[in-house]
Structure 1
Amino acid sequence: MAATVDRRNEKVAFTLMGLVVGMTGLAFASVPLYQLFCQVTGYGGTTQVASEAPKGLIDRQMTVRFDSNVDGALAWRVTPSRPVTGQVGGLETVTYRATNLTDKPITGMAVFNVTPEAAGYYFNKMECFCFTEQTLAPGETVDMPIVFFVDPEIDENHDLDTVREITLSYTFYASDKEGS
């Protein structure tokens, strides 16, 4: 009888240990899994990454506005591009201009957001400076390009029929890297 109880206790102990290991693994995987979820669904205004341009234009105009915010710890001035209006499916190239306002090199990076959030799924970037650290020399000014298009499949989402304007917003932060 004692041997049976010991086996059951061992089984419970191994099951609980497996549960702890599994939960710890999920905790570490939660951030990459959430990022993957956002990229696949466009949740939270997450844009898509495209390797090729769409295969055609549709008869719908879209204006894309650009916004920039700079964290107080980053001594940069960032000027967004002017709005562009074009046919959905058309490939567009715009630039943000960043200037280091100090007398030392500073490294920064940007994160983005699209509004309305549901349009993020249809906003495709082929080239972007986001999530790439940029080091600017003292007083240096650089143009940072974005090549993008709005996927013509947006027309199939009737919840977005009235959307004629999308805003792409970047927030720039100082990097933890040396030189910041």
Structure 2
Amino acid sequence: MSRSTIAAVALVFAASLGLAACGDGSAGATVGSSTQAGSAVKDPSTVKIADSSLGKILVDGKGRTLYLFTADGKNMNSMKCDAQCLKLWPPMEGKPKAGAGADAKLINTTDLAGKPQATYAGHPLYYYAPDKAAGDVKGQGIDKVWYVLDAQGNAVKKAPASPDQGNYGY
């Protein structure tokens, strides 16, 4: 192998390791599409249960879908994520109150670099930046590690109803 081939392979390998922190990247879309969606309105003051194409799921006060990352420990953020990944999967910060259908006993926080990150049933909560409106579930099932939660705090592993949702990688 030539030096340029080895260098190219090393560069591709290093880039793939950077994406692995948020999943394996196998879903195939680009990260660049997420930056515009990061401006969608969030309301971390409340978590509640709302109807969606996946059934009744956990959302914030504005109806934005909340996700769990299966590699997180109980009440522990285990995600090793760079700045680009954090733009795509921003944590829900603060300690929300229980809204309609949510169980106040399941709400807590974990430490996120000195700030509280909301948890539900022990799962740290995250948004998915491309979810632009209440009811969007575009992050569902990405890399088989990102899922919405039901009212009991369990991962909902059902596939999204619409073929244009849930197949966005980074």
Report the TM-score when normalising by structure 2. Answer: 0.29
The structure in which a higher percent of residues are strand is 1
Report the structure number with the largest CA radius of gyration.
1
The structure in which a higher percent of residues are helix is 1
Report the TM-score when normalising by structure 1. Answer: 0.28
